[in-house]
A and B are shown apart, each in its own frame.
Chain A
Amino acid sequence: MLNSDSFIAAPAYALRDVTFRYATSSRDTSESVLKNLTCSIDSGKILGILGPNGSGKSTLLKLLARVLLQGSGTIELFGNSFSRLSQGEVARRVALVPQETMQIFPFTIAEMVLMGRFPHHRGWGGWHWEDSDDWRIAHQAMEELDVTHLGSRLVTDVSGGERQRAVIARALTQEPQILLLDEPTAFLDLHHQLDIARILRRLNRERGLTVILVSHDLNLASQYCDRLMLLHHGQIVEVGSPLEVLRPELLESVYGCPVLVDGHPQSGLPRVSLPV
């Protein structure tokens, strides 16, 4: 069980010496995706995890969601080691919004959002019918993400942006303290990118939800994240505010290409562009 005393004082996550490699069938010398990662992640903030392809961003996020079981090292969630928490105990605190949501069976949006209540049900194997409380929580989350009108539509029949909002509604239905998102804006147009970013900021400011997101979009991360973590070859090269992390010389060495950094016309925060 989660220790409630350490719950307030402890950071959201504390990672010590976390190393991970994907198990491969061949005996080749598969390189570790993450190497001896040690860091601590504060609660109540929006953290952006950045880095080039293959730097280990998504792997780190999946480790934090306990979707991948860690190779070595320890991960503590609010001061409690993952090894002593059940999958359900983690899922009551941490929700994951994966990059893509596949569904081949005709589930409706409302049914999918309600699945977020699963970790709160104690029945054998999760056998449980949702009660009015569950419906209320799911309904509230759907209102918040503006997907209520899609409730009876099939998951397969809505647009990518609508599905993404519904998946975030499902994550909120878990009533988590931490929300993890893998490339939440990757497949969305500008309008929906702004939508999602604003929703995340609102949830963070109004509810104190800790948000950790992986992104390739340096500019969106710069605008909306309190802190950034830059990964390269499975190691942390820099953690800090957008100003501290989005430095041209650092980005050039990590991404291996020249970049221009100036200020955002509204906020003055770093804006990254590619040279012509």
Chain B
Amino acid sequence: MLAVAALCTCLGFGTESIAFSRIWSVLLGALMGREFVTIGTDPASVILLQVRLPRLILAFFVGGSLAMVGVALQALLRNPLADPFIIGISSGAALGAAIAILFGVGISVWSVSALPVCAFAGAVLSLLIMYRISSAGTGFSIYTLLLAGVVLNAIFSAFIMFLTSVADPNRAFGMYAWLMGSLTGPDFSTLGVLALYLGVGLIVLGTQAQSLNLLTLGEETARSLGVEVERVKQLVFVASALLTGAVVSFSGIIGFVGLIVPHAVRLVLCADHRLLLPVAGFAGGIFLMFADTIARTVLSPAEFPVGVVTALVGGPVFLFLLMNRNMRVGM
């Protein structure tokens, strides 16, 4: 219900502002199959149904997935500051996607499948590196992971910059816009493909919710309580990589959603992953819908990447959490 209300609110804002009652009638009309009559004749319904609605749905999908991946990674790495963007998973996926785009895989016949697959491969690669780092040695602290994430981000960004600088300028420009996180121009068929990827990833994550609860106690304790730790880790890693890969290949790098949303939900609700995962998913979706609406409207009719909004909101929150931890734990 909240998601639908947020959707309607966001639909209203834009270069062409549209009244609430209008949105309702168009949406209801579309649901009842009348859109074929009105489309083409009514500019408001065209804007709503063909531009804003798919874009907001994409925002919802992307935000929700990023938040849930954040939840899963935080539990798996036992690190409350883990986020697909911060620890370099997103940039790994972006490198994979960039290779696909620049080498033309993305515009080949099987464009629908190749791009997310390359992004998935990139996400898996960076997750493997992060996991190796996080399980090596005994004196491992959460800051090692953050530091490693910074470096991993730098390395992947360097590769991406190298690729864009040797690429055809026209393509390179599109790459830049996409890299900064953009939700522009989806149609309903690409949304369908995305939904397919996300569905698989989310179902896998969802089934592991209770195991994630136990993993927060530490791997040894989780094992002593009957968790098949290795299997859970593999499933969650693959699902996280799949979700991150799919999201990045459709919308570029959007940071911090996976960090702030789980934190907020834990604060007001609880830490139980069986509730946390779905609620963070919805909250993340709603958060990104609003963030994208801000990105579309503040400089209207121009717009800026939604990644700018999430970074401006999420960055300070991240720093605050970091400071707070320092004082409390003294680490």
Question: Measuring CB to CB, which residues of chain A are less than 8 angstroms from any residue of chain B?
Answer: 25, 62, 65-68, 86-88, 90-92, 94-96, 98, 101-108, 111-112, 115-116, 118-119, 121, 123-129, 174
Contact = CB atoms under 8 A, between A and B. Distances in A.
A102 B221 CA distance: 10
List the 3 shortest-distance A-B pairs measured between CB atoms, nearest first.
A91-B226, A119-B226, A96-B224
Q: How large is the interface on B (under 10, 10 to 19, 20 to 34, 35 or more residues)?
A: 20 to 34
22 contacts: A87-B227, A87-B228, A94-B224, A95-B224, A96-B221, A96-B224, A101-B217, A102-B78, A102-B218, A103-B216, A105-B80, A105-B216, A106-B266, A116-B225, A118-B225, A119-B226, A121-B210, A124-B207, A125-B235, A126-B227, A127-B274, A128-B210
A142 B159 CA distance: 55
A138 B308 CA distance: 47
* Residue of A62, A87, A88, A128 ringed by the most chain B CB atoms within 10 A: A87
Interface of B: 74-75, 78-80, 136, 206-211, 213-214, 216-218, 220-221, 223-229, 232, 235, 266-267, 270-272, 274
Contacts of B274: 127, 129
B223 A66 contact: yes
Nearest to B74: A105
B208 to A, nearest CB: 5
* Residue of B78, B208, B227, B228 ringed by the most chain A CB atoms within 10 A: B227
B217 A103 contact: yes
Contacts of B223: 65-67, 87
A115 B226 contact: no
B225 A119 contact: yes
Taking chain B's interface residues, is the majority helix, strand, or loop, or is none over half, making it mixed?
A: helix
B271 A106 contact: yes
A123 B209 CA distance: 11
Contacts of A125: 207-211, 232, 235
Contact of B226 (A25, A87, A98, A103): A87
A86 B225 CA distance: 11
A134 B131 CA distance: 34
Nearest to A88: B226
Contacts of A174: 225
A88 B223 CA distance: 9
A98 B221 contact: yes
Contacts of B210: 118, 121, 123, 125-128
* Residue of B136, B208, B229, B272 ringed by the most chain A CB atoms within 10 A: B272
A127 B213 contact: no
